[in-house]
Amino acid sequence: DGYFEGKVVLVTGAAGGIGRATAIAFGRAGANVVVADLSVDGGHATAAMIVEAGGKALFVQTNVTRAPDVEALIDKTVSYFGRLDCAFNNAGIEEEHLLLADADEALFDRIMNVNVKGTWLCMKYEIRQMLKQGGGAIVNTASVAGLVGAPTQAIYAASKHAMVGMTKTAAAEYGRAGIRVNSVCPGVINTPMLARALERDPTREKKLRNLHPIGRFGEAADVANAALWLCSSQAAFVTGHQLMVDGGLTAI
């Protein structure tokens, strides 16, 4: 609908799931979209989908846990599209579900590295660019597990709570510089991440679906709609906010 016409938007974890749906939605709304992901095939496919729909996209292979990758991602964004208006920091992982005392250090390090360090690095270089331009909007993909506990996902919940802390702090630090920072907190969303979790344990499907008073899993497009709104001028006075897109999961 042209709402983001001429804006430059970066989406991480954009090779699939929530990131792909959001990148495509931004492209449809007229944005120039930078697609970042570890996955080359998936990233190129997302960029191709945006271009096929008449939009502009650039894929940059990126490991968000590596500072040189993230710095290069922002440099490429600016050299290709001229600026950076909005960033959706969405790359994240969850792994096998274990009780807290059964998890090991390697699992802790993997999850914290991608979800916490990766998000921090992206915010760091995005904010440096946005400060030069006089503003911008950032949305991080946290989770309902960033607001309430998540049995068998203690480390994931810790990582998402950490992202909420960074969102609030960055909103406070950079509000006067014209940078808004918010999170989306999805419930259980129908993406490859969910498919992998259900493959590990198919018996969980009904229980997970029933966590949502709306009675279904969320779709990636449900989260994309929220992310676009938070990035838009309609949300000009919204910052430091965690927007639940959870079918009511946290209401009960």
63 touches ligand NAD by CB under 6 A: yes
Which of 45, 131, 193, 211 is close enough to bind ligand NAD by CB under 6 A?
193
> Hey, which residues between 171 and 190 contact ligand NAD (CB under 6 A)?
186, 188-189
First to last CA, the chain: 36
Report how far residue 215's alpha carbon sits from residue 177's, in angstroms, rounded to the nearest whole number: 41
Phi, psi (deg, nearest 5) at residue 247: 55, 20
The candidate with the shortest Cα–Cα distance to 218, out of 11, 17, 14, is 17
3 state DSSP class of 53 = coil
Least distance from C-beta 91 to ligand NAD, angstroms?
4
- Choosing from 80, 125, 156, 174, which is the catalytic residue? 156
Q: Which stretch binds ligand NAD (CB under 6 A): 34-42, 74-82, 199-207, 224-232?
A: 34-42
Binding residue for ligand NAD, selected from 47, 64, 111, 181, defined by CB under 6 A: 64
Residue 19 interacts with ligand NAD (CB under 6 A)? yes
Size of residue set near ligand NAD by CB under 6 A: 31
**Contact between 136 and ligand NAD (CB under 6 A)?**
no
The single-letter code of the amino acid at 157 is A
Q: Which is nearer to ligand NAD, 59 or 81 (CB)?
A: 59
The nearest distance, CB 232 to ligand NAD, in angstroms, is: 20
- Burial classification of residue 82, based on how many CB atoms lie within 10 Å of its CB (0-12 exposed, 13-18 middle, 19 or more buried): exposed
Q: For residue 115, give Cα distances in angstroms to 152, 157, 238.
A: 17, 10, 23
8 A C-beta contact, residue 18 and residue 141: yes
Residue 77 binding ligand NAD, by CB under 6 A: no
* Dihedral sign of CA atoms 68, 134, 168, 246 in order: negative
153 part of the interface to ligand NAD, by CB under 6 A: no
Assess 143 for contact with ligand NAD (CB under 6 A): yes
Please identify which residue in 8, 25, 59, 62 interacts with ligand NAD, judged by CB under 6 A. Answer: 62
Structural contact between residues 158 and 103, judged by C-beta atoms closer than 8 angstroms? no
116 binds ligand NAD (CB under 6 A): no
* Residue 155 near ligand NAD by CB under 6 A: no
Return the amino acid letter for 14: A
- Kindly identify the residues of this chain, within the stretch 81-100, that bind ligand NAD according to CB under 6 A: 90-94
Residue 156 falls in the annotated catalytic set? yes
What's the CA gap between 153 and 171, in Å, rounded? Answer: 27
Give the separation between CA 62 and CA 70, rounded to whole angstroms. Answer: 7
Taking the least distance from each CB to ligand NAD, the nearer of 77 and 141 is 141
The residues annotated with a catalytic role in the active site are 156
The residues binding ligand NAD (CB under 6 A) are 12-13, 15-19, 37-39, 42, 62-65, 90-94, 114, 118, 141, 143, 186, 188-189, 191-194
